[in-house]
Amino acid sequence: MPSFHCITYGCQMNVNDSAWVARALIKMGWKESGMETADFIFINTCSVREKPQHKVLSMLGIIRETNPKASVAVAGCVAQQMGEKLWEKNAHVRLVLGSDGIAHAPEAFEKIAKNPKLRLSYLKFTKEFPNRNPELDFFKNILVLPTGTVEESTKGNDTRAFVNIMQGCNNFCAYCIVPYTRGRQKSRPASSVLAECREWLERGICDLTLLGQNVNAYGKDNAGDTPHFVELLYEVAKLDGLKRLHIVTPHPRDFCDATVNAYKELPVLAPRLHLPLQAGSNAILEKMGRGYTNHDFMRLVDKLRSARPDIALSTDLIVGFPTETEEDFQETLRIMKEADFIASFSFIYSDRPNTRASKMQDKINPKVGLDRLNRLMELQNELGEKWLKSRVGMETDVLLEAKSAKPKYSEIKDNDIAVETIKSAESLNGDSDATSWQGHDTWGNTVNLIIPNRLNYKAGDIAPVKIVTAKKHSLLGELK
């Protein structure tokens, strides 16, 4: 049987798609192996900025040198964007799978494995949500991914799951390539979403994330069997065994009062929300075509805080959008403080082909962009650290995910309680009888703690924890 290796760039959608492809190939009897030895290499790509796109092209060169016999499949957004042009300079690329084409990956791999001369591309957008072939029933029986299949972001893959509810985007924000690479919005039928959620829950996963480019526009494309987003939310929230529910990514403009209210009524909805602001200046928001002002955004934040006083917000921000002045940028800093984001993904504006912004005048000098990015990250670090410190003393639930390296006394010397906690946990039954665990609290903070083995905790369990200290990017807790 052939061997394969997966490389994944880009957003959670890509991580999820790669995980599905890996499960499917393993089900077909293929073996996972390293990049230097695999017969087939699957690269799932991102073109949201210029850098990740370049990474893909240089990775194709690295593969040609380190594993010249391998056949390569390029999937995802760069594949959709470049299509069969990828074949021109890359003799080893034999499969090009666009955003909707990924659903054909298993059969396409089988075909090119059988016929070494064959090259295939699947680039057409489908009209409906590209459901994965149900006859093949790949989903069943293969839940846990072999390690290393998709990097970092799948840590905790056997305790949390992401369920795609839609594909594509209709917004055409001026800077964004996604509507071109992922196509128009297509909602997945609710019956299919609920069936996948049930599958995960039956297998003991209790933490689900509903995933899409613009989740709260779900159903607006009016494909059959798609209720309003908020109805879907309530349906999922009712499922047995569900302990935490997240949504990624909602659009501030599409955030209706009923969804805000869901944060009040559904305790299972995690009190952590990623809400992309992009920019704080109204002039820039308007040029971006985001469909809200900074005032609208702050009103939404206030409504969410009234509905759920403990809600913590994170965001996406772009600096250096064409025409952005220092005053515009100051508005971004101001709104960041007002909204009190606990974390943000921030980017320097990058020109993308076909987008409206790429045709705009008054591009910002990259040095100015970098300076703004640094200042923005400085503020974000302050806000993030302040947030973590505010958690100290709180009692919370932690979903245990993986055994972790023991926290070192030297790193936490300044906190006597934390040192005492670790010492006492270790002395309970001697050092080897306690395990150091890593997990997440309901706000998505990483929490480390030591638990005596006799308590029989395992990955996927939820432990009651008191936070004893805040580190730069994570928390240290003690079992309650």
From 53, 249, 281, 421, residue interacting with ligand SAH (rule: CB under 6 A): 249
Q: Which of 41, 43, 56, 77 binds ligand F3S (CB under 6 A)?
A: 77
181 binds ligand F3S (CB under 6 A): yes
**What gap in Å lies between CA 153 and CA 158, rounded to an integer?**
12
- Which of these ranges, 115-123, 174-182, 295-303, 321-329, lies near ligand SF4 under the rule CB under 6 A? 174-182
Of the candidate residues 292, 349, 387, 437, the single one contacting ligand SAH (CB under 6 A): 349
Binding track over 44-73 against ligand F3S, x by CB under 6 A: --xxx-------------------------
**Please, how many CA atoms are within 13 Å of residue 180, restricted to the half-sphere of its CB?**
18
CA distance 26 to 145: 9
List CB contacts of 174: < 8 A, sequence separation 6 or more.
Answer: 287, 288, 289, 355, 356, 357, 360
Q: Burial of 40 by CB count in 10 Å (0-12 exposed, 13-18 middle, 19+ buried)?
A: buried
Select the binding partner of residue 181 from ligand SAH, ligand F3S, ligand SF4, none (C-beta < 5 to 8 A, by kind).
ligand F3S
Those residues whose C-beta lies under 8 Å from the C-beta of residue 391, and which sit 6 or more positions away, are 441, 443, 445, 467, 470, 475
Binding segment (CB under 6 A) for ligand SAH, from list 22-30, 173-181, 380-388, 447-455: 173-181
Q: Which does 31 bind (CB under 5 to 8 A by kind): ligand F3S, ligand SF4, ligand SAH, none?
A: none
Helix, coil or strand: residue 463: strand
For position 14 contacting ligand F3S by CB under 6 A, the verdict is yes
Closest C-alpha to 246, from 160, 155, 345:
160
214 makes contact with ligand SF4 (CB under 6 A): yes
Residue from 11, 70, 97, 163 in contact with ligand F3S (CB under 6 A): 11
d(CA 38, CA 44): 16
* Choice between 214 and 380, CB closer to ligand SF4: 214
**Of positions 213, 438, 442, 445, contacts ligand SAH by CB under 6 A:** 213
Q: How far apart are CA 422 and CA 407, in angstroms?
A: 8
Within residues 91-130, the interface with ligand F3S by CB under 6 A covers none
- Do the Cβ atoms of 232 and 165 come closer than 8 Å? yes
Q: Which of 6, 8, 10, 348 is close enough to bind ligand F3S by CB under 6 A?
A: 10
276 binds ligand F3S (CB under 6 A): no
Work out how close the CB of 202 gets to ligand SAH at its nearest, in angstroms, rounded to a whole number: 30
Where does 98-154 have alpha helices with state H? 105-114
Helix, strand, coil tally for the chain in percent (to 5): 40, 20, 40
The overall longest dimension of the chain from CA atoms, in Å, is 68
Write each residue from 242 to 261 as x if it is in contact with ligand SF4 (CB under 6 A), else as -, in one continuous string: ---------x----------
164 near ligand SF4, rule: CB under 6 A: no
8 touches 79 (CB < 8 A): no
Q: How many residues bind ligand SAH (CB under 6 A)?
A: 17
* Interaction of residue 13 with ligand F3S, rule CB under 6 A: yes
Contact status: 276 vs ligand SAH (CB under 6 A) = yes
Placement of tokens 């055994």 in the chain: 403
Task: Identify the residue whose tokens are 């890996």.
Answer: 22
- Among ligand SF4, ligand SAH, ligand F3S, none, what does residue 329 contact (CB within 5–8 Å per kind)? none
Q: Which residues make Cβ contacts (< 8 Å) with residue 387, sequence separation at least 6?
A: 312, 340, 342
Q: List the single partner that 172 binds among ligand SAH, ligand SF4, ligand F3S, none, CB under 5 to 8 Å by kind.
A: ligand SF4
Whether residue 373 contacts residue 443, with contact meaning beta carbons closer than 8 Å, is answered with no
Q: 3-class SS at 122?
A: strand
Among 171, 209, 380, 469, binds ligand SF4 (CB under 6 A): 171
Q: Is 178 in the site for ligand F3S (CB under 6 A)?
A: yes
Query: Do 32 and 146 form a contact (C-beta atoms < 8 A)?
Result: yes
Residues that bind ligand SAH (CB under 6 A): 48-49, 175-176, 178, 213-214, 249, 251, 276, 278, 316, 318, 347, 349-350, 352
Residues that bind ligand F3S (CB under 6 A): 10-11, 13-14, 46-48, 76-77, 177-178, 181-182
Residues that bind ligand SF4 (CB under 6 A): 169, 171-173, 176, 178-179, 213-214, 251
